[in-house]
Amino acid sequence: MELRGDKVVLRPVADGDGEILERVVREPEVAEWWSPPDGYERMLAVVFEGEVIGAVQFNEENDPEFRHAGIDIFLTARHHGKGLGTDTVRTLARWLVRERGHHRLAIDPAAANSAAIRCYGKVGFKPVGVMRAYWRNHRTGVWQDGLLMDLLADELA
């Protein structure tokens, strides 16, 4: 599977990508929001101009009464603020809606992660509500609030 956005390509994580992704997830600007994953098998590498710059993952709830998909993403700090996160999320969201048939997508950034919230808003995600003490910061051990955001298929830009 390879998904092409306006600027990025999303593809399965390949041999050798794990080292790069380990470095990215340990960058202070990324580690503030992400704990190191157990592995990258369930992720897609985000490639920009031939370079792996991060990863995106999705999960699917397939119970017919609650069917939806969720998205998580991290990118190297040197590519923050360039619209690459927005392109990544939009590209994956389109695939989840058009190819996987989801009518609703969810994303749950830390409530304090204003850059991520702006990025997701540009794709069309809307705040649903604050989830109090939602995730434990792996560096401090302190529970942090999360912001639940969702996007309906007909709202996707």
pLDDT higher than threshold 90 for residue 122: yes
What is residue 157's predicted lDDT score, i.e. its pLDDT? 73
How is the beta sheet containing 51-61 ordered, strand by strand?
3-4, 8-12, 43-48, 51-61, 68-75, 104-107, 143-152, 126-136
**The Cα angle at residue 131 between residues 126 and 137, in degrees rounded to 5:** 110
92-119 pLDDT tens trace:
999 999 999 999 999 999 999 999 999 9
pTM: 0.95
What is residue 147's predicted lDDT score, i.e. its pLDDT? 98
